[in-house]
Amino acid sequence: MTILSEVLAANERYAADFGAKSELPLPPARHFAILTCMDARLDPAKYAGLAEGDAHVIRNAGGRASDDAIRSLVISHKLLGTAEYFVIHHGDCGMRLFTDDIISGLLESSLDTAAIDADGWHDSGAGPGSSAGRYVRWLTIGDPEKAVVEDVQRIRSHPLIAPEIPIYGFIYDVKTGRLDEVKAATEAGRPR
């Protein structure tokens, strides 16, 4: 069985019991949005106690406040009524394992999946690659707490973010399942 067939079979089971979920309104019932990482170990529905229809969950590599993440947050508030934002990064994040130069160099060598060991990243592909990675801002993470503060500050200072929206900053601990507040981030995200 391929992944495709597994996903389609799971969807059939899910759709069979869909029921009243078809009646959920478009705006999130709990009026908040979460910006978090795409890491498969994070399940925002579980760590934030969400049911379908409760909140907007915006995910990207690192849970960073990229232009596209901010675009989604603006739409979430302006058109769908969210009134609070959570920025949630996590421990043991893969975005700490490389720099812009490393990923750009790997992509120049080939577009195949790279490998990491004690000596660093290695490209196993035969090419061709592309230099286009040199023009991407990868938003890698050095210091996790500092990254949360930076992302909250970027959202808070964006001219399209309503000043009355509180923005909270957290780091999810992948070893315990706990959300640990980054107080400096939450302070930076206070409504103005």
Nearest to 33 by CA among 86, 89, 88: 86
Which domains are assigned to the chain? 29-96+139-192 (3.40.1050.10), 99-137 (no CATH)
Please write the tens of the pLDDT for every residue from 31-57: 999 999 999 999 999 999 999 999 999
Q: What is the pLDDT of residue 2?
A: 78
* pLDDT category of residue 180 using cuts at 50, 70 and 90: very high
Q: Is the pLDDT of residue 1 over 80?
A: no
How crowded is residue 108: how many other Cβ atoms within 10 Å of its Cβ?
A: 17
Contacts for 104-107 with beta carbons within 8 Å, 24 or more apart?
A: 104/131, 104/133, 104/134, 104/136, 104/138, 106/133, 107/131, 107/132, 107/133
Q: What is the pLDDT of residue 109?
A: 94
pTM of the model: 0.94
Q: What is the pLDDT of residue 127?
A: 84
Please write the tens of the pLDDT for every residue from 123-146: 988 889 999 999 999 999 999 999
Please write the tens of the pLDDT for every residue from 93-105: 999 999 999 999 9
